Amino acid sequence: MSTPRLFGIAGWKNSGKTGLAVRLVEEFTRRGYRISTIKHAHHDFDIDKVGADSYRHRQAGAHEVTIVSGTRFAIMHELRGEPEPAFEDILSRLAPCDLVLIEGYKREPIPKIEARRLEAAKREPLAPTDPHICAIAADHPVTEGTLPVFDLDDTMAIADFIAAKLGLPAITA
């Protein structure tokens, strides 16, 4: 596999980014592509349960904790005061795949779709100030601008758009 293609999903909190990302992963996987995702969190998060062995390792001061089983592995890296890693550093850690869907990372210069919902935390459009937004997916009519607009729930049409935009090769059985 060559360098993966990147496509982002940007939007304000509660704009439908995660739901769209999950549906796109399901759709591209159904089509036979190998998909990876990167999600940017603007807050502290934890994937460990308090009291679990891996949590205890981290709390004791481990820089990285790797959990491995017969079905998956995870590496947690504690920054311990270091700056957040650059997007490129995170991308370089991924295994080979066909497409990396990126949720968040609003300011990265990658092609992306803007998710919009009426219930979003903010309703100010991102597209007018981000030249990398190449389409909008919304749960309401969008009349401004010249970008293609999709229904937020029309996963197949959005996946078709992304595949065409990135030139994803057809998967042969």
Q: Give the Cα separation of 145 and 126 in Å (integer).
A: 11
**Predicted confidence band at 1 (pLDDT cuts at 50, 70, 90)?**
very low
pLDDT (mean) for 85-110: 91
Q: Could you list the beta-strand ranges (E) of 15-132.
A: 35-39, 64-68, 73-77, 99-103, 112-116
Q: Which pTM was predicted?
A: 0.87
In which band, very low, low, confident or very high, does the pLDDT at 135 lie, cut at 50, 70 and 90?
Answer: very high
Q: If you average pLDDT over every residue of the chain, what do you get? A: 90
Tell me how far apart the alpha carbons of residues 112 and 17 are, in angstroms, rounded to a whole number.
11
Per the document, the length of the chain is 173
74 vs 88, residue with greater confidence: 88
pLDDT above 70: percentage of residues in the chain: 95
Residue 2 corresponds to which tokens in the numbers above? 């060559």
For residues 80-104, average pLDDT: 91
Asked whether the predicted pLDDT for residue 173 surpasses 70, the reply is no
SS3 of residue 8 by DSSP: strand
What are 2-39's pLDDT values in tens digits? 567 999 999 999 999 999 999 999 999 999 999 999 98
